[in-house]
Structure 1
Amino acid sequence: MTTKDVADKLVNYCRQGQFEEAVKALYAQNIVSIEPEGAPVKVSEGLEAVIAKGQQFQEMTEEVHGMEVSDPVVADKFFACTMKMDITFKGAPRTSMEEVCLYKVENGKIVREEFFFTPMQQA
């Protein structure tokens, strides 16, 4: 798959809320996932760790009220998109989150992802 193919597939999975399916289908075994300072998990290395991070996010979530994912911008081995979520986390008020998501693709699989957003204050 080309970088554009991977980008389009990831965006489609995300728009359907199928995050774990996207990881299992499109991510390399040696994936590295980077979150900003202040996020619950800063770095996750390996497919199982990224799946576990996603499950942790699901466990923290009370309800997703809405989500938007932009079309991807592709250049060379990289693509980026934005994600906006209207979400309520357990024990917290409803909030809106916006992030820029940057991905690197090698051999048809995502090998690195990095998210740029302002983390919520942890209670």
Structure 2
Amino acid sequence: MSTEKVANRLVELCRKGDFETAMQELYSPEIVSIEPEGSQAPNAEGIQQVIEKAKHFADSVEEFHKNEVSDPVIAEDFFSVQMKMDVTFKGVGRTQMEEICVYGVKDGKITYEQFFYTPAPVNAG
């Protein structure tokens, strides 16, 4: 599958909120997932760690109000999308999130993802 086809399929699934199918169908077993410095989300290596990271995020959500995903911008073996979410987190409240997501593709599978966003400050309590 070409980078363009992978990108378009990822966008299609993410717009539906079907992140699990996206990972199972499009991610390489050797996927590397990078979060910004200061994020509470961990980096992950390998499909199992990436799935666990996504499950942890999903479990922290009380309600998704809105999910927007831009069309992909493609350059050779890479593509990026902008994602915006309006979500209520358990114990935190409603939050607007916006990020740029960059993906690397090799042999028709996503082998690399990196997220760019401003992490929320940690509550000092």
TM superposition score category, shorter chain reference: over 0.9
Q: Which residue of 2 aligns with 1:61?
A: 61
- Give the Å deviation of 1:119: 1.3
| TM-score of the pair, normalised by structure 1 | 0.97
Q: Which residue of 1 aligns with 2:33?
A: 33
Q: Which amino acid aligns with 1:118?
A: T
- CA distance in structure 2 between the aligned counterparts of 1:27 and 1:113, rounded to whole angstroms: 10
- CA distance in structure 2 between the aligned counterparts of 1:64 and 1:15, rounded to whole angstroms: 12
Structure 2 unaligned blocks of 5 or more: none
Q: Which residue of 2 aligns with 1:95?
A: 95
Structure 1 unaligned blocks of 5 or more: none
- CA distance in structure 1 between the aligned counterparts of 2:62 and 2:121, rounded to whole angstroms: 17
- 1:40-86: CA deviation from partner (whole Å, max 9, x where unpaired): 23310000000000000011111110010000000100000000000
Contact 1:73 1:79 (C-alpha < 8 Å) held by counterparts = yes
Q: What is the percent sequence identity of the aligned residues?
A: 52
Q: Which runs of 4+ in 1 moved over 4 A?
A: none
- Give the Å deviation of 1:121: 2.3
| TM-score of the pair, normalised by structure 2 | 0.95
- Give the Å deviation of 1:38: 2.0
Q: Which amino acid aligns with 1:60?
A: S
Q: Which amino acid aligns with 1:52?
A: E
Q: What root-mean-square deviation, in Å, do the aligned CA atoms of Structure 1 and Structure 2 show?
A: 0.9
- CA distance in structure 2 between the aligned counterparts of 1:36 and 1:20, rounded to whole angstroms: 22
Q: How many residues align?
A: 123
Q: Which residue of 1 aligns with 2:9?
A: 9
